[in-house]
Amino acid sequence: MPGVFRVGVPTPVPSGVRVAGSGGYAYTEAQSDADGTHHRLMGKLAAVLSPAPAFLFGGNLSGRYDKHPEGDSGLVGDPTVMVRWLATDTAPTAASPWSFGVDMDLMMPGGEAPSLIVDALTPSMSLLLSHTSGSLTLAARGGYRLDNSAAAMHDIERLSDSDRLALGLSEVDAVLAGIAMSYRSGKTEYLAELSADLLVGDGAPDMMQSPMRVGAGVRHAFSDTLSGELFVDVTLSDRPALLPTDVVIPVEPRSSVWLGLRYGPAAPTASTTDTEEEKPVEEKPEETEAPAAAATPTSSAKVSVVDSNGATIPGATVVLVQGDKKITLKAGEGGALRAEGVPLGKATLQVSAESFVSQSIDVSLEKGKALQTKIQMEPAIPPGQVRGLVRSFRGRGIAATIVILSKEGGDAVATVQAGKDGHFRVGVEPGSYEVSVEAAGYKSQKRKVRVEENGVTVLNVDLRGGK
């Protein structure tokens, strides 16, 4: 499922099957003076089917091998079934940056692998929320786990300290919480996450003994379909005493490191839409030969839209125009925009992105040669503003005419009429200007102003009567 690590990100994905595998090592410090360090090797395999971009379901199998100081060891496996529903099937944009979804999981804990105990089935549900702004995505998770995992063991009070650490069983439920962020730079994502399983219910320990972790990592796209990742996290929780009379709770390793690979389908190719209405086709015998037109040679297009630093611009739009036909390129996992089945010949790429200057580029699609190009966008010049008040020496507003000149005695850049109360405002690009203020029955004035980028320059003028 798309996410940072434990915190999911409710992002639509291309339809198809996605698989992932990861492995890692974890370290747990001695739990008492008589104890030693504990070591764990971990692995996870997962597969997810997305019949539609806004619906995913699948499962994963988590396995771990623990080595304890007293020479004891054991292998534990926990299969989990997963379902995710998203509120929308479109990726976030600058105009609509929020995404919402719901995760539902069913964990099936057992004893030593392989095993499955029905009474120990543990369901959980979480609400997911994310906000994407440019290359930065912020995500949050809140949910609840109805934990029945303790039923996987008979005589649970007889478990050794090592078994309590290895099995991860719990006799209490948990409130699931987490916040995370990812920042994309080209094909690489930088990850950070803070998550907690806050233990609740009868017998729940002090909250600081609940599993709480902070972690960071990196994910890199090797292609549109394959990516690799590295993630390291540290547990912040206090340690329980592990007394036989204590409630059994999960005690996670103090630190862990994971390496993983993900494989999934690239974004679907774009569809071609005629600007004219599709006309009904009359059934004629000779038109049965029409399928032969499918052999018309086509090409493909792959366009990367980047800023002046070479970083991919999220939310960029590329439309390929050929005559009266328009093809909107769709985003792939690597950040490039793609289209397949594009007719050969000359075309125009219309490229736009919020806060950047739109571009139109002429291209040619040739047989047997895919179009691949990188387009660097220039940032739009942020506007500035001049605003203020024109009044008489008696304090009455004057409906004066304000003219913004490019320089002293230069051309007029903008002209605005103040309101009856004398207030005015006018948008201009950053720079230095001369401002001329005129009103019938008053002596005109000229002022020099400087407008900063994204700035507002306030100009208040008192006009003296006369000509």
Do 128 and 74 share a structural domain?
yes
What is the total count of domains within the chain?
Answer: 3
- Between CA 93 and CA 101, with CA 98 as vertex, the angle to 5 degrees is 120
> What whole-number distance in Å separates Cα of residue 52 and Cα of residue 436?
61
pLDDT one digit per residue (tens) for the chain, 467 residues: 889 999 999 988 888 899 999 999 999 888 777 777 889 999 999 999 988 888 999 999 988 888 887 766 777 778 899 999 998 877 777 778 899 999 999 998 765 545 567 888 999 999 999 999 888 999 999 999 999 988 877 766 666 777 777 778 888 999 999 999 999 998 899 999 999 999 998 888 899 999 999 999 999 999 888 999 999 999 999 988 777 777 888 889 999 999 999 998 865 433 333 334 444 555 555 544 545 445 578 888 888 888 888 888 888 899 999 888 888 988 765 677 888 888 888 999 999 987 788 888 898 888 888 888 888 888 776 678 899 999 998 889 999 999 999 877 788 888 999 999 999 998 888 889 999 999 999 999 999 999 888 888 999 999 988 76
Give CA–CA dist 162/112, Å, rounded: 13
Which tokens sit at 241?
A: 């005493």
Over the stretch 404-438, which tens digit does the pLDDT of each residue have? 998 777 888 889 999 999 999 988 888 899 999 99
Domain of residue 396, residue span: 384-463
In a domain, 291, yes or no: no
Pair (203, 303) in one structural domain:
no
Same domain for 81 and 218, yes or no, is yes
Evaluate whether residue 290 is within a structural domain: no
Q: Is residue 205 part of a domain?
A: yes
- Asked if 368 and 392 sit in the same domain, the reply is no
Distance separating alpha carbons of residues 117 and 59, to the nearest angstrom = 17
CA–CA dist 405, 413 (Å, integer): 5
- Decide: helix, strand or coil at residue 358: coil
Is residue 201 located within the same domain as residue 87?
yes
Q: Which of 350, 376, 402 is the last residue of a domain?
A: 376
Closest by Cα among 5, 1, 25 to 193 = 5
Give domain status of residue 3, yes or no: no
pLDDT in tens, 129-179: 999 988 899 999 999 999 998 887 776 666 677 777 777 888 899 999 999
> Has residue 108 been placed in a domain?
yes
Residue at 210 is within a domain: yes
- 42 with 173, same domain: the answer is yes
Q: Are residues 59 and 197 in the same domain?
A: yes
CATH classification of the domain holding 154 = 2.40.160.40
